[in-house]
Amino acid sequence: MTTPSPALQTTPQPSPHDALAHEFVAFAVEAGVLRFGEFRTKAGRLSPYFFNAGLFDDGAKLGRLAEFYARRLAASGLSFDLLFGPAYKGIALAAAVAMEFARRGRNVPYAYNRKEAKDHGEGGSLVGAKMAGRVVIVDDVMSAGTSVLESVAMIEVAGAMPVGVAIALDRQERTGGEAGEGSHSAVQFVQSELGLQVCAIATLDDLLQYLAQGADPALSEYLPHVQAYRDRYGV
């Protein structure tokens, strides 16, 4: 049997949503949201790339981002009645995705939470549509799953049913600190322990595939660094 060369062994395999993911990665790079270099993550790891969804910071970029979320959710087959945006980044995301669905002919209600409950006016910590039916949580990325756990608790207390989470990028890395001591990723935890479907527009494997294809020659030098990071911390 012929042993594959190391280069072939590390080549990312195409994903089922290859075209949409590739388009999204290219958009994130162009928008300056996906950057390469050396960045310290919240877990203390040195990452060769950084994804900052807060830089989708104008109407055109946010509108296009919402289009990617809507396309991914539509393709997932997930049935839902309401979008929920956890404070703070999820608020704008859920609103934008609801607007995109309306543009596509489906009027989906959305709601979000306040960080601190309001004790006057309508009161409470939830704002927007009445929490009911099957709910999808809309957020940017998932680091430890803490935001999802908090959102699930709020949704269930309000009498609705959380069924899924939509995120922009699945980093596909183990939880834990710099040593990468975790055995699973936050996405895997949410799927296996909470029973929620996770719809990611793109994954780290999609990012590797984008770099490997040489779509942007200026970024080719980062491929071995991102692959090494995937090999060390990936799931």
Residue 222 is predicted with a pLDDT of 96
- Which stretch of DSSP H or E encloses residue 85? strand 82-85
Residue 32 sits at φ, ψ, to 5 deg, of 80, 10
Is the predicted pLDDT of residue 124 greater than 90, yes or no?
no
Is the predicted pLDDT of residue 63 greater than 70, yes or no?
yes
Is the predicted pLDDT of residue 140 greater than 60, yes or no?
yes
pLDDT confidence tier of residue 118, bands split at 50, 70 and 90: low
Exactly one of 120, 130, 184, 225 is catalytic; which is it?
120
pLDDT confidence tier of residue 175, bands split at 50, 70 and 90: confident
Of the candidates 165, 233, 169, the residue with the CA atom closest to the CA atom of residue 206? 169
Give the mean pLDDT of 196-204.
96
Residue 76's Cβ-side half-sphere holds a number of Cα atoms within 13 Å equal to 22
Residue at 142: amino acid letter? M
For every residue of 114-181, DSSP letters joined together read EEEEE-STT-EEEEES---SEEEEE-SB-SSSHHHHHHHHHHHHTT-EEEEEEEEEE--BBSSSTT--
Residue 11 is predicted with a pLDDT of 38
For every residue of 30-77, DSSP letters joined together read HTT-EEEEEEE-TTS-EEEEEE-GGG--SHHHHHHHHHHHHHHHHHHT
Residue 12 is predicted with a pLDDT of 40
Query: Structure pTM?
Result: 0.87
Is the predicted pLDDT of residue 4 greater than 90, yes or no?
no
pLDDT confidence tier of residue 147, bands split at 50, 70 and 90: confident
Of the candidates 102, 104, 233, 106, the residue with the CA atom closest to the CA atom of residue 178? 233
Cα(48)–Cα(38) distance, rounded to whole angstroms? 5
Residue 31 is predicted with a pLDDT of 96
Of the candidates 169, 188, 166, the residue with the CA atom closest to the CA atom of residue 85? 166
Is the predicted pLDDT of residue 186 greater than 60, yes or no?
yes
Residue 32 is predicted with a pLDDT of 96
Residue 118 is among the residues annotated as catalytic for this protein: yes
Kindly report the average pLDDT of the chain as a whole number.
88
Residue 13 is predicted with a pLDDT of 42
Residue 120 is among the residues annotated as catalytic for this protein: yes
Of the candidates 51, 43, 97, 53, the residue with the CA atom closest to the CA atom of residue 74? 97
Exactly one of 61, 89, 118, 225 is catalytic; which is it?
118
